[in-house]
Amino acid sequence: MEKMITTILKKSLDVKYPFIDDVEVTKERNHKSYFTDEEKNYIYNVFLTIDEDKLQQYSEPIDWKSIKDFIRDVVKMCGIDNRIDVYQA
């Protein structure tokens, strides 16, 4: 599942946020989860690598909340309702 999320996010982010150089997705078990479906028990962590050169050339101001919301929306459109945490690597 992490590979699928990574691939989808890379393609989506390349178009909207070209200064994001790489995406890595990991998962960890959510011990507070009450779901019987094993796949729903995971939290997905998204780590973004930023290309500083491209970031300096980017003309619009960076709104990290918008980037995080975009990532969460893309993952939810794939049918994944798990918690998504986004970090800058």
Number of helical (H) and strand (E) elements in the chain, helices listed first: 3, 3
The pTM score is 0.85
pLDDT value, residue 61: 82
What gap in Å lies between CA 57 and CA 25, rounded to an integer?
26
Tell which wins on pLDDT, 17 or 34: 17
What gap in Å lies between CA 89 and CA 82, rounded to an integer?
21
pLDDT value, residue 54: 87
Beta strands 84-88 and 20-29 are unpaired
What gap in Å lies between CA 78 and CA 53, rounded to an integer?
31
Spell out the domains of the chain, with CATH numbers in brackets.
2-88 (3.30.300)
Give the number of residues written for the chain: 89
pLDDT digits (tens, 9 = 90+) for 20-76: 999 999 999 988 877 777 888 999 999 999 998 888 888 778 889 999 999 999 999
